[in-house]
Amino acid sequence: MIPKDIVDKIIDEARIEEVVGDFISLKKRGANLLGLCPFHNEKTPSFTVSPAKGIYKCFGCGKAGNSVNFIMDHESLSYPEALRYLAQKYRIEIQEKEISPEEKAQQTERESLLVVTGYAQKYFSNALWDSDEGKSVGLSYFYERGFTDETIRKFQLGYSFEERKAFSKAALADKFQIEYLIKTGLSILSEKHKENSPISIHDIFDRYTSRVIFPIHSGTGKVLGFGGRILGSDKKLAKYINSPQTDIYDKSKVLYGLFFAKKQITQKDVCYLVEGYTDVISMHQAGIENVVSSSGTSLTVEQIKLIHRFTSHITILYDGDLAGIKASFRGIDLILEEGMNVKVLLFPDGDDPDSFSKKVTRQELQEFIEKNAVDFIRFKTNLLYEEAKQDPIKKASLIKEIIESVAIIPDAITRNTYITECSNLLHTNEQTLVFEVQNIRRKKQQKQAASQQDVPQNVQQQVETALFINGQAKDDLQKLLDADLNPFAEQEKNLVRLLLLYGQHIIQLQRYNEYKELTPVKVSVAEYILNELQQDDLYFIDSVCQLFIQEFLYQIQKENVPSTDYFIKHKNPQLAQTAVHLISNSNQLSENWKKKYGLWVAQEDDNLRKTVNHDLFIYKEKRLEKLIDEEKEKLRNISSDEEMQNILEHIKNLEALKIRFNSFLGRTII
């Protein structure tokens, strides 16, 4: 574990312009530096680096953060790995802090498992290249598939001997512990072994025998597990077997080929998704490297998020099997829900990416993909409509299925575009589709709102459990809710922005003392905003913004108002990047207005108390409006006069409060 003082030293010494400058060319532009974004293709530079603030932001794709965030995103490293990378660059010695015996044991075991899988990869590769059996059986198979020596070595392909305990014996002879051979899944414990008795070579056997081996790598190139393909014709045996779930391998969180594809995915700004190992390898050999595989499993949210780190565009390459395509629709809906763009490509009958890539040149393959890839919503509509257009009942079911896919798309403009197109393709009234989409999204919003009713009372516990799980932000906090699901999103982000920029600033208020006399009181902006929210029992609907509130509350309880820099350098990447976004989008006008035009423009910090009060009242007024609408909605289902009278009285009181809010804001309600 890296001590906090060393972490602070690394972050302080890692100059953002130097870190980014190692990867892209930067040119001076006023107080900032400008360059072409390394995270998406662009011809006009929009990637801005601020040496003064120690942050970067791309105004094209939205990527933002500090030096650590940049290395994490660009090199696909974890937070500790990025810190070690920067420590090495700046020659900062890291003396790991003593960790608990339990943490040390867990860390040691994970490292031991990785050592075993690394050893196994070399063992299987040597078996392929250096043994007569490996050459005649394994290497011959790869040659038959059209793979070159260079490709075979690149993907570290291997072979497992026919002898049932060959690997286990070799590993034990090289002093590896038998428990780690079992925990990696490379060796299997026999059912005949008696529980609680010592395990010996007689009690285990190899998982892989007489198979060609495909190592499965992490994003940083470490071997996590293996896939093995049988070469015989015994139909009783599975064609492929993969490593089981282990402490280092979770198939739902790994994409085959990502380590080899990540740079090209970033540069091409699209990821091709195929089915199997050989599809990935053949595409690479054909010169198209921005391709990965989910290894024959259903696509998961974790795998989608892995891809989303490098691009927002996925093209799924199918082999033409319609049953398989329909089965994958659920996975594609998950991609849409993540806010990504999805295209689909069908290869000619009988072909898959592996076989087709061997029939054409690299240029022909690339052109075929670009010309034939179809937007998924359009593809799904056309595919299902052909089956249902003669059957009204099937057509109604089809429309519902299509609209459910459209409804989960986060971006409102994209949704509306699809609704219009689906209306034309399905010959259905557009307003009907709009209503159905709104209905689906409203139900989802109500479900999410209901799940946020329980707010833990202990702020510190909530910060520690909700903010940090194994050093990562929780999956459900990975993205901000869009304005469609959260009508207060902009106001909540703006209040967090004020906290970030001015939280430590002091403002003077007038408060009544014990003698009911108005006396001046000085408080920080952060304390004032938080007190106002707590007084009215207001919790932000936007989960990420609420986490900022919780962190401020936790720090203030420790008599420390966190600074902007505290959040920019926060070890939670989600908070750090969101902080950079919010302060980068600040509405303050530059001092250049004075220099260029001789104009003085009032800034929001010229009268902080007025600014903060104004923004708080706008937020409260919008929440009040929503509450009034909800009360009016209740009137539709009232059965008793007494209940109706109570609701009308409540609405009257809320309307009176709304008039007071608007009076403060300088609005007149007629």
272-320: per-residue pLDDT in tens?
999 889 999 999 999 999 999 987 677 888 888 888 877 889 999 887 6
Distances (CA, A) of 14 to 21, 87, 94, 293: 12, 8, 15, 36
Give the dihedral of Cα atoms 650, 656, 658, 662; nearest 10 deg.
180
What is the C-alpha separation between 113 and 128, in angstroms, rounded? 23
Q: For the residues 320-342, what does the mean pLDDT come to? A: 79
Q: What is the pLDDT of residue 186?
A: 96
Strand partners, 158: 213
Domains of the chain: 4-89 (3.90.580.10), 101-249 (3.90.980.10), 253-372 (3.40.1360.10), 380-450 (no CATH), 459-664 (no CATH)
Provide the Cα torsion 664, 667, 669, 670; round to 10°: 130
Instruction: Give me 118's structure tokens.
Output: 């690394």
DSSP track, 102-152:
HHHHHHHHHHHHHHHHHHHHHHHHHHHHHSHHIIIIIIHHHHHTT--HHHH
* Rg, C-alpha atoms of the chain: 30
pLDDT in the model for residue 661: 64
The pLDDT score that the predictor gives to residue 458 is 43
Nearest 5 degrees, angle CA 255-CA 143-CA 121?
A: 45
Residue 33 buriedness (CB in 10 A; 0-12 / 13-18 / 19+): buried
- State yes or no: pLDDT of 152 exceeds 60: yes
pLDDT bin (cut points 50, 70, 90) of residue 101 is low
Region 47-68: mean pLDDT is 87
Highest mean pLDDT among 178-187, 291-300, 561-570: 178-187
Would the pLDDT of 454 be above 70?
Answer: no
Phi, psi torsion values for 485, nearest 5 degrees = -90, -25
Among 60, 67, 34, 61, CA closest to 48: 34
- pLDDT recorded at residue 592: 46
In degrees rounded to 5, what are phi and psi of residue 102? -65, -45
Output the six-digit token pair for 313: 């565009």
Is residue 217 within 8 A of residue 223, CB to CB? The reply is yes
- Going by pLDDT thresholds of 50, 70 and 90, the confidence category of residue 162 is very high
37-52 residue pLDDT tens: 888 877 788 899 988 7
- Are 173 and 147 in contact by the 8 Å Cβ rule? The answer is no
CA distance 126 to 143: 17
Per-residue model confidence (pLDDT) at position 358: 87
Inform me whether the pLDDT recorded for 168 exceeds 80: yes
pLDDT(587) > 50: no
More confident residue, 401 or 117: 117
* Token digits of residue 589: 């006008």
Contact 215, 223 (CB under 8 A): yes
Please name the helix (run of DSSP H) or strand (run of DSSP E) that holds residue 330, with its range, or none. helix 329-337
Measured in whole angstroms, the distance separating CA 72 from the mean position of its chain's CA atoms is: 13
Supply the pLDDT for residue 482: 42
**pLDDT (average), residues 80-85:** 86
- What is the predicted pLDDT for the residue at 297? 72
Share of the chain above pLDDT 70, in %: 85
How crowded is residue 72: how many other Cβ atoms within 10 Å of its Cβ? Answer: 22
DSSP string, 196-257: TSPP-GGGEEES--SEEEEEEE-TTS-EEEEEEEE-S--TTS-SEEE----SS--GGG--BT
* Measured torsion, CA atoms of residues 481, 482, 488, 492, in degrees rounded to the nearest 10: 60
Rounded CA gap, 360 and 370, in Å?
14
Residue 155, Cβ density class (10 Å: 0-12 exposed, 13-18 middle, ≥19 buried)? buried
Cα 99 to Cα 96, 110, 373, distances in angstroms:
9, 15, 51
Task: Pick the range with the lowest mean pLDDT from 148-157, 617-626, 636-645.
Answer: 636-645
**pTM to 2 decimals?**
0.58
Tell me the C-alpha distance between 224 and 250, whole Å. 9
Tokens of 301: 């949210």
Q: Which of the four pLDDT bands, split at 50, 70 and 90, describes residue 601?
A: very low
Helices (H) and strands (E) in the chain, counts: 30, 18
d(CA 209, CA 213): 10
What number is the average pLDDT over the span 629-648? 78
Alpha carbon distance 98, 241 (integer Å): 40
Compute the average pLDDT of residues 239-257. Answer: 91
Query: Which one has a higher pLDDT value, 581 or 587?
Result: 581
Nearest Cα to 158, choosing from 219, 237, 211? 211
Mean pLDDT, to the nearest integer, of 329-344? 86
Closest listed residue to residue 20, CA positions, set 80, 63, 61 = 63
pLDDT, the chain, mean: 81
Whether residue 468 is predicted with pLDDT greater than 50 in this model: the reply is no
Q: 207: pLDDT confidence band, cut at 50, 70 and 90?
A: very high
Closest to 13 measured CA to CA, from 54, 69, 71: 54
Task: Give me the sign of the Cα torsion angle 499, 501, 503, 507.
Answer: negative
CB 11 within 8 A of CB 68: yes
In the prediction, which pLDDT does 464 show? 37
Residue 319, classed as helix, strand or coil, is coil
pLDDT reported for residue 649: 80
The pLDDT score that the predictor gives to residue 242 is: 92
**Which strand (E) or helix (H) includes residue 80?**
helix 79-89
